[in-house]
């Protein structure tokens, strides 16, 4: 029996993602991986997969899929409006609740709600190519499964094995919205004028439409550089906020270029990364300064919270 999903509509930016790739920055390959790590882990747990299993990640509009094969559990995480179609009858889907589907059923992931990324996990093993221990698709470098390209209409997602445990799993989780993103000062913080520094931590910025898995571009009051608008190119990380000559900050996200030459005004605290990536274009964002030790403590608490959520499933 071949178990697979036919992609009726692929969606805007639908890829396979997992925990990402390590130890490749020095050759120019970024981390990649699921953008929102908490929702990624929850998705896998809710269908009984190992936490680092591949999932389908989508942005804004997700895929519309038709299933054929043996009965299988699926779950959607994030803040997603979706329908499950069983013998022509549409059911409104709830996120964080697994559904058993069978041959002929369809899943229509209509859109993410005031957020960017959603996740579809399938209770079983997807048939995917791994590169450097990860299936994560990086569409800029064409690395990962599906030849490093986003999914397209008409393609099939093949499933190798289906999990035997098909009990229904459910959890109550509400994605918290944050307008304040906590930031640790970067090594070039003093490149900016006093007024620029003040603007950075006090004013609102809006997320530009030009944001993607590589970076989030912001628009707002200009942050004036008084030292040098270029630095000697050096490494980047996800969460690093660069300010190029035009004064508009760019936040590096999971598929970022590994080296950059713009001054680093700050770095987003790890505790806020999952929430940061979910801020959609047009929304407002405000930065709040945090020191290293508070950032470390808050991340520990956030991780404990994630563990508790997973343990409850």
Partner 1 sequence: MIKNISNLGDAAVYCDFGIEVNKSVNSEVIKYFKALKKENVESINNLTPSYNKLIVSYDLRKTNFKEVKKLIENLNVNETEDDNSTKIEIPVCCDDQFSLDIKTLEKKLNISRDKILENFFSKEYFCYMTGFIAGMPFLGDLDENMRVPRLETPRVKVPKGSVALTEQFANIYTFESPGGWNILGNTPVDVFDNSKEEEPNLINPGDIVVFKQINLEKYNSYNDK
Q: Which positions lie near partner 1, rule CB under 8 A?
A: 22-29, 31, 131-132, 140-143, 148, 184, 186-187, 232-237, 239-240, 257-260, 264, 267-270, 292, 295-296, 299, 303
CA 273 centroid distance within chain: 9
Give the three-class secondary structure for 6.
strand
Decide whether 113 or 233 has the Cβ nearer to partner 1: 233
HSE, side-chain direction, 13 A CA sphere, residue 29: 19
Decide whether 120 or 241 has the Cβ nearer to partner 1: 241
Do 220 and 251 form a contact (C-beta atoms < 8 A)? Answer: no
Decide whether 46 or 267 has the Cβ nearer to partner 1: 267
Decide whether 140 or 156 has the Cβ nearer to partner 1: 140
User: How far, in Å, CA of 231 to CA of 239, rounded?
Assistant: 18
Nearest partner of 68 among 129, 150, 157, 168, judged by Cα: 157
* Smallest distance from partner 1 to CB 184, Å: 5
Question: Interior CA angle at 55 toward 53 and 59, to 5°?
Answer: 150
Decide whether 161 or 307 has the Cβ nearer to partner 1: 307
Question: Interior CA angle at 125 toward 119 and 130, to 5°?
Answer: 85
* Smallest distance from partner 1 to CB 164, Å: 30
Could you tell me the sign of the dihedral formed by the alpha carbons of 191, 192, 194, 200, in that order? Answer: negative
HSE, side-chain direction, 13 A CA sphere, residue 137: 18
Decide whether 118 or 263 has the Cβ nearer to partner 1: 263
* Smallest distance from partner 1 to CB 240, Å: 7
Do 96 and 42 form a contact (C-beta atoms < 8 A)? Answer: yes
Beta strands at 80-86 and 3-9: parallel, antiparallel or unpaired: unpaired
Decide whether 30 or 220 has the Cβ nearer to partner 1: 30
* Smallest distance from partner 1 to CB 167, Å: 29
* Smallest distance from partner 1 to CB 55, Å: 20
Token representation of residue 217: 């571009």
* Smallest distance from partner 1 to CB 122, Å: 26
| Residue in this structure with the two tokens 């439409």, named with its chain if needed | 209
Do 249 and 278 form a contact (C-beta atoms < 8 A)? Answer: no
* Smallest distance from partner 1 to CB 173, Å: 20
């Amino acid at each position: 029996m071949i178990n697979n999903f036919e992609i009726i509509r692929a969606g805007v930016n639908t890829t396979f993602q997992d925990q990402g790739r390590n130890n490749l920055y020095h050759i120019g390959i970024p981390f990649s991986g699921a953008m929102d790590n908490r929702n990624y882990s929850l998705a896998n747990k809710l269908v009984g997969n190992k936490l680092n299993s591949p999932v389908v990640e989508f942005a804004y509009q997700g895929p519309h899929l038709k299933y054929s094969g043996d009965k299988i559990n699926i779950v959607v995480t994030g803040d997603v409006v979706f329908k499950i179609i069983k013998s022509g009858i549409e059911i409104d889907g709830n996120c964080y609740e697994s559904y058993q589907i069978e041959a002929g059923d369809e899943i229509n992931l209509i859109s993410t709600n005031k957020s960017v990324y959603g996740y579809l996990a399938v209770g079983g093993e997807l048939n995917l190519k791994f590169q450097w221990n990860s299936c994560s698709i990086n569409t800029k470098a064409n690395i990962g499964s599906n030849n490093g390209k986003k999914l397209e209409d008409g393609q099939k997602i093949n499933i190798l094995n289906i999990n035997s445990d098909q009990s229904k799993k459910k959890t109550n989780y509400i994605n918290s919205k944050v307008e304040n993103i906590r930031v640790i000062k970067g090594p070039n913080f003093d490149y900016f004028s006093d007024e620029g520094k003040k603007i950075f931590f006090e004013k609102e910025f809006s997320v530009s439409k030009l944001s993607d898995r590589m970076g989030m571009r912001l628009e707002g009051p200009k942050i004036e550089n008084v030292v040098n608008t270029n630095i000697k190119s050096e490494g980047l990380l996800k969460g690093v906020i660069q300010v190029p000559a035009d004064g508009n900050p760019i936040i590096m996200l999971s598929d970022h270029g590994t080296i950059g030459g713009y001054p680093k005004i700050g770095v987003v605290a790890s505790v806020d990364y999952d929430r940061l990536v979910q801020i959609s274009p047009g929304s407002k964002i405000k930065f709040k300064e945090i020191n290293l030790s508070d950032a470390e403590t808050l991340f520990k608490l956030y991780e404990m919270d994630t563990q508790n959520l997973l343990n409850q499933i």
